[in-house]
Structure 1
Amino acid sequence: MSPRPVLERGPADLFGRRGRDRAVLVLDAVASARLKWTTIVNRREIGPPERDRGLARVVTGRRIEARDQDVVSLRLEAPDRRELPRWRPGAHLDLELPSGRLRQYSLCGDPAERRSYRVAVRRIPSGGGSVEVHDALEVGTPIVVRGPRNAFPFAVPGHGSPSTRVHFVAGGIGITPILPMARLALRLGLDWSMVYTGRSRDTLAFLDEIAGFGDRVIVRTDDEHGLPDAAALLPGVDSATAVYCCGPAPMTTAVADALRHRRIELHSERFAPPPIIDGQPFQIEFASSGEIFDVARDRSALDVILERRPDRPYSCRQGFCRTCTVRVLAGEPDHRETVLTAAEHAAGDMLVCVSRAEGGRLVLDL
């Protein structure tokens, strides 16, 4: 995967304020209940909390997955070849790269394969993490990982999802979390379909594996068909369909907008921080220096912190990896994430990439 994107539950934005549309509120309640159910299942199947510790792995395989050579997949194993923690489709790993960067990448292999994980990364010239993966992670390279974690769980129809069929929408490297979902849907005999889109066939990864799904999958490229609209991405989607979408922000936004008032179950990830909805300006104070900085209504606290402390750790920018956690010493946070527990909130923990302030100022342990 490329940078890990945003989970959307139902048609409303995850981190913004909910609107007053009653249909949207009902859909969100249903989706929230489903998410809690699948989270319990995911935690039970993943196993003990060792997934939260840094664990030694080694790169045992490396393969170019797209004709333009900009996508590489890596196979990761334990040094002693022991079985690895279980995972479910939609899960990701945190990779601690040799430079110290922490990046999230979706697992795109087979959950039944217990001795290795597979991730795939598109090289983005301006993205230091992806360049490092391509240039530094050769076969034999040791690497520390955390996980798996699942911020994009797949709920099987009839077992956590009220829908009876599934439609997948994958844009470019967004195929990575979708691929294991599609394999599971095929294995279970579900009614499902997929649209896989990108700039050209040369840029699309895993086309050989996608071909094995037959006519369930429509491969649509910009150079052959033009930019797709929502109708092209959602053929045959009706109220009985659950939609799983992963890809660039314009694509996921188009899908969300098209489904917003159609009472259709939507789950998606995207490759950019979510837009800040209903953001109010506030201030942050660094406790160590007493410096006070303004956070504009359309910026995150993390943005402002990185301008002054560029060495501060961060990764997903979307409120699920915990890397940017900061302790609040004074003030009332407006928590806009779903991963911290009530006890962590009470202790003052805050994810500065998405959360904001209820009042005018937060004093941070920085």
Structure 2
Amino acid sequence: MTATPGQHMTDEISQQPAIFADLLAGREAIAEVAEMIAERRPRFALLAARGSSDHAALYAKYLIEVLLELPVGLASPSTTTLYGAQPNLTDVLLVSVSQSGGSPDLLEVTESGRKRGALTVAVTNTADSPLNSAAELSVDIRAGREQAVAATKTYSATLLALYLLVDAVRGGTGGHAEPIPELAATALDASQKVVDDAVRRYRFAERMVTTGRGFSLATASEAALKLAETSYLSARAYSGADLLHGPVAAVDEDTAVLALCSKGRGGDAMREVLDVVHERGADVCAIGSAASDVRASHRIPVPDCAEELAPVLEVLPAQQLALGLALARGSDPDNPRGLKKVTRTR
């Protein structure tokens, strides 16, 4: 029997609260990995990822820099796979993030990094993946098999797993994350009507800018990818700060702007950005716990939580919006044209 368009994505979005609860129940295993990282006292962290996992890595970059106060870089896998660079990675923490654990370039980066002295950690949804075998340590995000091509539950579970890992490295117990399953269920239920209204509002949009600051920049990047791959909408993500440095010149009354605005320093910094965008006539849709505090044409509220955990919640209505827009525009988000579930690059 042929599945209804978007059925897999719909089901997997709805599974996320239960997945978060399961991940929290198993956080002792993540804490054991964190303890080994803390014992090694890395001087620097390097993150390797592709696609949605790259946005999760961007989130981890903010977590590590803010919570652990370690310098962090995002790896360019091609420097290893295409150019053969062999930098000294002694005392470096190398975290490779891949939902499938099967991307050849990330595997090569991890293998090479381990040989060059890095403490390697794989964060995946596939416990028996080649990447897990190559890394010294591994974190299982426990999201279960994902059938839709567009990542939803694996992305959010990766965010929560990365938070629990970084929090445990600094000696935390993950206490701030305990309400996340219940808050996620509330976010999904409460936002559906306003998301449906947003779908009707933006159904015929041809281009969209997504923007956020701080931890929420990762959500802006992920939202742009979801809109592009499911709705074939021309979407571009910018940091709120970078948006004002030039790209805002291309924003006008024909531009839809999806702004991530959760309570905290990142959300506070978005107010000036959206004042400027509003003055240029753009149609702003604000998502987040601070959505009501900024100038916007449409608002999708999200329950309040610790700022560093906001991306786990605020991505949920962004996923619902991508799903709704894809269906409204006549495409099947479970099977985007030209895409496969596992992309193999080198």
TM-score band by shorter chain is: 0.3 to 0.5
Larger radius of gyration: 1
Q: Which has the higher strand share?
A: 1
Q: With structure 1 as the length reference, what TM-score do the two structures score?
A: 0.35
Q: With structure 2 as the length reference, what TM-score do the two structures score?
A: 0.36
